[in-house]
């Protein structure tokens, strides 16, 4: 098909858009919703209160005890992300539009997976990401959180992934407390590892018998779900997440969800190329540190 250089960009655009949309809607593009809330944002920066109950039900005496009267807050500042598909005049003139549209589909898949990339990169940094300002000035994954009533509680380990370390982490969740000091009993239900620990995660969660004990001890971890994500690049770190509470352990807010791919600039007449682009405007964050256990293994 011979196209006029003056109108080619508009004629090619529907195929590029269709290819991008196909990739954007491919299966698996929203797997990140397993671990994260999906929020809408209406400004550059959003401010949220503590996303955990501050206390439980109590006997009603002469006065009510107000929950949430002294809140901790955190802010999330959105960022813009883009992807641009440059198509040259030669690709159009020599009828390489099948390849052009297939590339657009690949870019659509990348855009669909970008929220997942942001979330898991943030999870990998949980050991150095601050929690709320206020009475618990620590990192998301840390050894001594103070907003647990009296004393401290930790959600950080340093031991390699194994039967005993996984059990210790799950027990730590069951002992978790609210800021009032009342137990909340976090049941971690998802093991998250990078590619280097994929086989270890399988061996720990699939067999009915303890893989590290020769005495046919039942395997408590059998049936614990796990996911492997390539954005967890440390070869030894691992995480447990609780995805069965009111909030997921993480969230991502969107001002603009991934946009359709359209013409950004048409320079076919002057420079022999046209750019098609898409963007996303948002940012990931953590919700409540209690919903995450991390092991930073050296």
**Please, what is the angle between helix 8-24 and helix 97-124, to 10°?**
40
Tell me the C-alpha distance between 122 and 128, whole Å: 10
Whether residue 247 has pLDDT greater than 80: yes
At 191, phi and psi to the nearest 5? -90, 130
Instruction: Give me the pLDDT at residue 133, please.
Output: 52
Name the pTM for this structure.
0.93
Tell me the C-alpha distance between 41 and 221, whole Å: 38
Length of the chain measured in residues: 298
Mean pLDDT of 1-19: 91
Q: Which residues pair with 26 in a beta bridge?
A: none
The mean pLDDT value of the chain amounts to 92
Tell me the C-alpha distance between 238 and 192, whole Å: 6
Give residue 213's pLDDT band: very low, low, confident or very high (50, 70, 90). confident
- R_g of the chain, CA atoms, integer Å: 24
Using DSSP's 3-state secondary structure scheme, residue 59 falls into: coil
Transcribe 208-275 into DSSP letters.
SB-TT-TT--B-TTTT-EEEE-TT---SS-EEEE--SSSS-SEEEEEEEPPPPPEEEEEEHHHHSEEE
Mean pLDDT of 244-256: 96
Instruction: Give me the pLDDT at residue 182, please.
Output: 87
β pairing state of 190-193 and 225-228 = parallel
Question: Poorest-confidence range of 32-41, 84-93, 134-143, 214-223?
Answer: 134-143
Whether residue 215 has pLDDT greater than 90: no
Instruction: Give me the pLDDT at residue 70, please.
Output: 54
Instruction: Give me the pLDDT at residue 132, please.
Output: 65
Tell me the C-alpha distance between 184 and 53, whole Å: 9
Whether residue 69 has pLDDT greater than 90: no
Whether residue 54 has pLDDT greater than 90: no
Contact 202, 219 (CB under 8 A): no
Q: Which class is domain 8-50+76-295? A: alpha beta
Helical residues (DSSP H) of 94-146, grouped into ranges: 97-124
Instruction: Give me the pLDDT at residue 148, please.
Output: 82
Q: Where are the domains of the chain?
A: 8-50+76-295
Give residue 45's pLDDT band: very low, low, confident or very high (50, 70, 90). very high
Whether residue 240 has pLDDT greater than 70: yes
Give residue 68's pLDDT band: very low, low, confident or very high (50, 70, 90). low
Give residue 163's pLDDT band: very low, low, confident or very high (50, 70, 90). very high
Whether residue 136 has pLDDT greater than 60: no
């Amino acid at each position: 098909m011979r196209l006029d250089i003056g109108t080619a960009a508009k004629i090619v655009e529907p195929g590029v858009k269709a290819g991008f949309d196909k990739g954007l809607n491919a299966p698996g593009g929203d797997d990140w919703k397993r671990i994260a809330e999906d929020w809408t944002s209406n400004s550059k920066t959003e401010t949220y209160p503590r996303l955990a109950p501050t206390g439980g039900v109590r006997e009603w005496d002469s006065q009510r005890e107000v929950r949430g009267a002294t809140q901790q807050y955190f802010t999330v500042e959105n960022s813009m992300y883009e992807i641009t598909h440059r198509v040259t005049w030669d690709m159009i003139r020599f009828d390489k539009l099948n390849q052009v549209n297939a590339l657009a589909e690949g870019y659509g898949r990348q855009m669909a997976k970008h929220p997942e990339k942001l979330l898991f990169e943030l999870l990998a940094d949980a050991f150095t990401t601050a929690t709320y300002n206020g009475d618990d000035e620590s990192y998301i994954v840390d050894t001594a959180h103070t907003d647990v009533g009296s004393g401290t509680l930790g959600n950080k380990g340093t031991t390699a992934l194994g039967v005993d370390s996984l059990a210790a982490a799950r027990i730590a969740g069951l002992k978790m407390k609210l800021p009032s000091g009342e137990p909340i009993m976090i049941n971690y239900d998802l093991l998250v590892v990078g590619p280097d620990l994929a086989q270890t995660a399988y061996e720990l969660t699939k067999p009915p018998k303890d893989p590290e004990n020769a005495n046919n001890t039942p395997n408590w971890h059998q049936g614990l779900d796990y996911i492997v994500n390539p954005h967890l690049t440390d070869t030894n770190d691992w995480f447990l997440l609780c995805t069965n509470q009111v909030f997921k352990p993480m969230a991502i807010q969107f001002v603009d969800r991934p946009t359709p791919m359209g013409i950004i600039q048409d320079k076919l007449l002057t420079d022999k190329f046209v750019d098609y682009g898409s963007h996303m405007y948002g940012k990931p964050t953590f919700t409540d540190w209690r919903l995450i256990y991390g092991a930073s293994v050296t």
